[in-house]
Structures are given as C-alpha cells and as structure tokens.
Amino acid sequence: MNEAEVKEKFINDWSDTLKDLLGESLRLYCIEFPVRTNDGQKYADLVYELDENSIPMKNKMMIVELKRGMIDTGAVEQVLRYSHFTKLQLYRKQKITSFIAGTGFSDWEIKMCRDNKVFPLQFDYNGNMRIL
C-alpha cells in the first residue's frame, strides 16, 4: 500500500477508529494542508480540528503525518515544523498537537517523539491503531 492509499484509508475507512482511540469529536479540517514555511510551501497530510467552540481560533487542532511503513528518523522534525507554521498561519491560540502515523517506529524515533511531545500512532493495514 502506498502513502496515498494509506491516506485514503485514514479518511474513508479508519476515521471512526481514530476518533474512538483519541476519545474526541474530530472533524477533518484539511487533506494535504498547504503549510507556508520560511523556505517554501510544504503539505501536512491530515489536519483535524476538535469542533468545540463557535470561534474557530479557539478550537484545538492536530496534524497527522502519515508514513506507509517503518519510521526510522526525521518524521518528528517534519511534523513539528508543520504544527509550528500551521499555528501561525491559522492564528491558533493553542499549540497544535502532532502525530506521526506508521506501521512501526525505531527506538530512536520513539525517543524523539517522547522528548518532543509528539504522539507515535502505530497502525496496521486492517485499520487497527494504538498510540505507543
């Protein structure tokens, strides 16, 4: 399964599983959100919003960066960058929560996730998920 197919599964088939896992009322805000950084435009895979407030700037947001296989290194920096610039771009008051989703994680990447408060979201191709 390639990354586009994984993204489609998250959107179409696994969204309820993700909502149940997080225990939140999530709304998909954007697919391939264009993040303006200091050195060009990048794209965050999936951006979700907790639809809680009538003022959108007060709603919590989360970015899920998808990887189709084992995550070895570098994904933490990528998703943190997206979260930082998305917060500025959308004038959000709260920190945007960062998730990296993959089928497995190296010990190093798990350590980087914990050190940087990024959530490692492990999934399999049957739609099972867990936060490590």
Find out whether 41 and 82 touch, Cβ atoms under 8 Å. Answer: no
Mean local confidence (pLDDT), 41-68? 90
Closest CA to 65 of 106, 31, 36: 31
Mean local confidence (pLDDT), 53-63? 86
Give domain limits for the chain.
3-131
For the stretch 4-32, pLDDT in tens is 899 999 899 998 898 888 877 888 999 99
For the stretch 64-115, pLDDT in tens is 999 988 999 889 999 999 999 999 999 988 889 999 999 999 999 999 999 9
Structure tokens at 24: 């939140």
**Separation of CA 30 from chain center:** 11
Q: Which one has a higher pLDDT value, 51 or 21? A: 21
Determine if residue 9 is left, alpha or beta; phi over 0 gives left, psi from -120 to 50 gives alpha, anything else beta. Answer: alpha
Q: Domain 3-131 carries which CATH code?
A: 3.40.1350.10
